[in-house]
């Protein structure tokens, strides 16, 4: 079972840049047909999709976050990274990485989630 682990600073000041990393336990999904997303959940609210990097390296972002967000990957380290600049207190929440790829059959998919990492934006 592949495991994903998010890491990064728990506390960030307003207007600073957030950098998070998601590391997979092995390269079986970072070097194959998997798309990776970052998803966050503000306190008391639902999940918000932030963006995705596809298997071929294309990136797509939530339009409301696009101007402040960047997703990249380093397959040599089995890592996906998120950078978000000009942080605001409303960016506080739990940040998750997610990987989706083909399953064993044509009609199945594999979905992996990290456990999430708390990010608090406060001075």
pLDDT tens-digit series, residues 80-120: 999 999 999 999 999 999 999 988 888 999 999 999 999 99
> Which residue's entry shows tokens 């929440």?
93
Q: Which residues pair with 85 in a beta bridge?
A: none
pLDDT tens-digit series, residues 40-70: 999 999 999 999 999 999 999 999 999 999 9
Q: In what order do the strands lie in the sheet with 79-84?
A: 4-7, 18-24, 79-84, 69-74
Tokens of 107: 């009609």
Stretch 67-77: mean pLDDT, rounded?
93
Angle at alpha carbon of residue 119, lines to 98 and 43, rounded to 5°:
85
Spatial separation of the C-alpha atoms in residues 38 and 120, rounded to whole Å:
16
Spatial separation of the C-alpha atoms in residues 94 and 121, rounded to whole Å:
11
């Amino acid at each position: 079972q592949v495991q994903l682990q998010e890491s990064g600073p728990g506390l960030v000041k307003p207007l600073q840049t957030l950098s998070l990393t998601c590391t997979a336990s092995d390269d079986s999904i970072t070097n194959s047909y998997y798309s990776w997303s970052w998803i966050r959940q503000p306190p008391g609210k639902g999940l918000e999709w932030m963006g995705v990097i596809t298997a071929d390296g294309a990136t797509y972002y939530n339009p409301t976050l696009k101007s402040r967000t960047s997703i990249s990957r380093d397959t040599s380290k089995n890592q996906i990274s998120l950078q978000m600049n000009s942080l605001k207190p409303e960016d506080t929440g739990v940040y998750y990485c997610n990987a989706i790829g083909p399953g064993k059959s044509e009609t199945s998919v594999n979905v992996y989630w990290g456990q999430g990492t708390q990010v608090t934006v406060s001075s």
